[in-house]
Amino acid sequence: MKRFFERHPFVSRWVDRPHRGGKVLLGRYEIIEELGMGSYGIAYKGRDHLTGRLVVIKQARRTKGEDGRRLLQREADVLAHLRHPQIPRLYDRFVERGQPHLVMEYIDGETVEDQIFKLEAKYTEQEAFRLLKKVLEVVRHVHAFGIVHRDLRISNIIWRDGTAAIIDFGLACRIGEPVDFRDDDPLEKRLRREPHPRSDFYALGHFTLFLLYSAYEPTSDEEKSWEEELDLSPNARRILRKMLQLDAPYDHVDELIDDVDQLLAEPIRNQAGAL
């Protein structure tokens, strides 16, 4: 059934029946607008009339059946444990029309994806690693609770007033929790979803490459690897190779933060790559 809905998005939207703008849930949470339909939930910007705060209301998608409900509950459980200014606070959870909903803090800012693709931000090596460091400080808090996020992408990092917030904890799991991989799952999926801190470092390696590529101007049509295309300092290359598990990976976030600190303390290289 899930496959059918994936092939027929119009039918799926009709079955998911997203809430309309202006609707008030539980006599309290007003839907302002739909923010997006994710893989298992529909997110709305809303207003809590009791507190006056802007909130995000997330509803499990009917078409995702039990999986959708389970992932939404999972996100709520994880958010309930984490208390950090750069992680949305869980405010409430409830069931409406048979579908679980959660209410969390609205993070007012731009995703890094929007920064790169809509606002055309360009990151130098130092800027990219400075942003990575901010994300790692939040990740340190998550890992300290024995949790890995497993979905750290440019669309799940929100830039707000000089800080980086992490959202979308639907795939988060406990470190060491058994994970069912299928025999035909690609290596990439295993590396991103492993219940170990290194899966977050792997994802953040790709996140950092996205930032670095924002300032890259191709000089030929020839396909090359990131190591050939990007003009990186030896330290940046070494850190990325470990994050991407091309060399022995980092085991703990503190090792990675130490290396990033060392890179940030280096004299800034000029555009030609010389010191």
Ligand X SMILES: Nc1ncnc2c1ncn2[C@@H]1O[C@H](COP(=O)(O)OP(=O)(O)OP(=O)(O)O)[C@@H](O)[C@H]1O
Where do contacts with ligand X occur on this chain (CB under 6 A)?
A: 35-36, 38-39, 41, 43, 56, 58, 88, 104-107, 111, 155, 167-168, 170
Nearer Cβ to ligand X, position 167 or 240?
A: 167
The amino acid sitting at 186 is P
For residue 159, the minimal CB distance to ligand X (Å) is: 11
Alpha-helical segments (H) within 17-111: 65-81
Tokens of 59: 């509803």
C-beta nearest to ligand X: residue: 38
Nearer Cβ to ligand X, position 31 or 260?
A: 31
End-to-end Cα distance, the chain:
59
Nearer Cβ to ligand X, position 58 or 62?
A: 58
Largest CA distance in the chain: 62
Nearer Cβ to ligand X, position 170 or 205?
A: 170
For residue 67, the minimal CB distance to ligand X (Å) is: 12
Contact of 106 with 29, CB cutoff 8 Å: no
Tokens of 80: 């309930």
Nearer Cβ to ligand X, position 111 or 115?
A: 111
For residue 189, the minimal CB distance to ligand X (Å) is: 14
What phi and psi values does residue 34 have, to the nearest 5 degrees? -80, 130
Q: Which residues participate in catalysis according to the annotation?
A: 151
Rounded Cα distance, 253 and 194, in Å: 15
Residues 6 or more apart from 49 whose CB is under 8 A from it? 24, 28, 29, 30
Residue among 237, 241, 246 nearest 269 (CA): 237
Rounded Cα distance, 212 and 210, in Å: 6
Strands (E), 150-274: 157-160, 163-166, 173-174
For residue 7, the minimal CB distance to ligand X (Å) is: 17
For residue 54, the minimal CB distance to ligand X (Å) is: 9
